[in-house]
Structures are given as structure tokens and as C-alpha cells.
Amino acid sequence: MLAASMSGSLTAGCARPDRDDSRAPQHTATPVAPPTRTPPVAAAGSPLAVKIDNVPVARPQSGLDAADVVYAEQVEGGLSRLLAVYATRLPRTVGPVRSARESDLELLRQFDRPTLAFSGAQHKLLPLIGKAPLRAQSADEDPTAYFRAAGKAAPHNLYLRPATLLPAAPGKAALTTGFRYGPAPSGGRPTASRTVRYPAARFTFTWSAERHHWLIAMDDTPMATADGAQVAPRTIVVQHVRIHDSTYHDALGSPTPYTETVGSGKAEVLRDGRSFDASWSRPKATDGTAFTTADGGRMNFADGQVWVVFAPAS
């Protein structure tokens, strides 16, 4: 499985297991004053990836509008979680931050030693995270980078200050995703909206001709950040992948889904108010993902934020 395909190592401390369930006991959190801290040295050209909560009580999130790429994945109970990747700019805060998944390690292999910010992980997964070629910075590994915010109950109130992990945004060259940007290909179908459903979550993307962006609604509620900024990507990718149970479980014993992002399959690309049938290919974990049109041509994305929603392959 994933562990056999990994190379490189990272000496990581043992983060406490994150109780990864929206029904976990709730309590009122106490805000923590920002610390004075010298940012640690991050590898040049390495992006920041943050696991972000996406259950209703976690919304609105902070910092999603600044991400270059947002990956949406299915987790336990049919819910969704986000992995936001930052390279061209770092917001002041990001969150709420939640726990990592085994699938994240495979997905992040495409980047050069990325920094992964997360709240914790299932204790049996920690050795895999420790061996992965990334810079793991959990809330226990580096607590000064995180704070508990007022107004939300734990575990949905943990936030990250990105500037404490990266001294500066590494730049667009750090986005080794395999994505290509440029003019839209010919063809495509006019598309006003597209909905992707998980068992317990629903994404709806609606085209705004006025803004030239896709507007997002989660479970029929418009998605905006905590400071009122609208989350409005230019390109949406519905990537059909194999999703199956992993060997890990959450605190209630529910199996953790594993999302396979290495391989090939079908996709739909939404840009400029149109939908394009496409194919995706990622031969090995260290590769980015290439997208081609139905006739084998180049599938360009629009400049700006990209959302990739991993949908179960039929």
C-alpha cells in the first residue's frame, strides 16, 4: 500500500491522536494570545498544505480564499474534509484545522517536501506520517503555531498562523501539481451549476458570469470565509477516483476511506461557464496529475484558484 511506495524520511514527534468525529464531546475553548516566535526554516520551493474542517459547525472557515488549490475528500460517515495548498500567498490565519488521513500522504508526494499542518492523527498512522517525505507540523509538534478561537466549540476551533511555519510564500513554482493553465479548449457544454454528493455532504458550484468565477454552496449554504470573502474558484475539477476502506478507523470505529489519487480515470473540468469531459493520469505518486480533453488534447485550467473534488468512480 502507501507505506511501501514512500521514500525519504522525516523525524517527527508523536502528535496525540485527534478525536476525529463531529460528535466528539464539546467544550468552550479559551483564546490564546499570539506568541512571539522566529519562523522555522522551510525547504525552498515547498508549499504549505493544511487540513481544514468542513462540517457545518466548522463553517465559515478562515483562509480558504487564499489557497491556490483546494482538494475535497470524503472522510468517515460520508462527511467531507479539505486539504488547502498555499504557494503564492499566505493568509493571516487558516482553519479550523483537523486531522490528517493516509490518503493525504500519497496526494502530497507530488510536492517537494511540503509542510503539512494538521491537528493530529490516528495513532497507528503516526509512523507513516513520520516516514513521509514532508515536514509534519501538528498542533502538538509545534503548538506555538496554533491557537484556539472563541466562538466555536472544540474540536472545531483550532486555527493556524501560517507565518509561524513558513517565512514567506514559496511562489507558483512550488505548485508541482501537473496542472496546465491557459485558454479553454474548444467544445464543452454550457453549465450553470454542478452538484457533487457524498453520503453526508453536498457541494454545489454555480457559475457567475458577472464575476467570472464559480460560487460554492456547501449543503445548500453559500460558502464564504469568516471575514466575509467569497470562496470563488476559477476552475472546478470533479475527479473520479477509487475510494475504499483503509485499515484505519475513527474513535467510533468507523472505517476511514482511502482515496486513490495515483492511477487514471475520468474527470469533468468546469471553467468559463462550461463543462469539459476529460481524463486524468498520475502514473506514480511523485508525479503531478495530467488532464486531457476527450479527444486527447491539452486540458488547460483558468488562472486562479482550483478546486479538485474527489468523487467515487462508478
- Structural domain ending residue among the three candidates 105, 140, 174: 174
Kindly provide the b/e burial profile for residues 167-177, where b requires at least 16 CB atoms within 10 angstroms of the residue's own CB.
eebbeeebbbb
Lookup result for grid cell 445548500: 220
**Cα distance between residue 69 and residue 97, in whole Å:** 16
Query: What does the pLDDT read at residue 44?
Result: 60
Assigned domain for 15 exists:
no
Residue 31 covered by a domain: no
The predicted-structure confidence for 206-229, as pLDDT tens digits, reads as follows 999 999 999 999 999 999 999 998
Peptide bond into 155 cis (omega under 30): yes
End residue of a domain, out of 145, 174, 203: 174
Q: Which triple of cell numbers denotes residue 160? A: 493556524
- What is the β-pairing status of strands 263-271 and 274-282? antiparallel
Whether residue 213 is found in the same domain as residue 297 = yes
Tens of pLDDT along 126-142? 999 999 999 999 998 88
pTM of this prediction? 0.86
Domain containing 269 equals 189-312
Q: Is residue 133 assigned to a domain?
A: yes
| Signed CA dihedral, 213, 217, 222, 224: sign only | negative
Last residue of a domain, which of 147, 174, 201?
A: 174
- For every one of its 314 residues, what pLDDT tens digit does the chain have, with 9 covering 90 and above? 444 443 333 333 334 434 443 333 333 333 344 443 343 445 568 999 999 999 999 999 999 999 999 999 999 999 999 999 999 999 999 999 999 999 999 999 999 999 999 999 988 999 999 999 999 999 988 889 999 999 899 999 999 999 999 999 999 999 999 999 999 999 999 999 999 999 999 999 999 999 999 999 999 999 999 999 889 999 999 999 999 988 877 766 778 899 999 999 999 999 999 999 999 999 999 999 999 999 999 999 999 999 999 999 98
* 9 inside domain: no
Residue 177 makes CB contacts below 8 A (sequence gap 6+) with: 69, 110, 288, 289
What CATH number has the domain bearing residue 110?
Answer: 3.50.90.10
Inside any domain, residue 117: yes
- Measured CA to CA, the distance from residue 301 to residue 304 in angstroms comes to 9
Clarify whether residues 170 and 198 are in a common domain. no
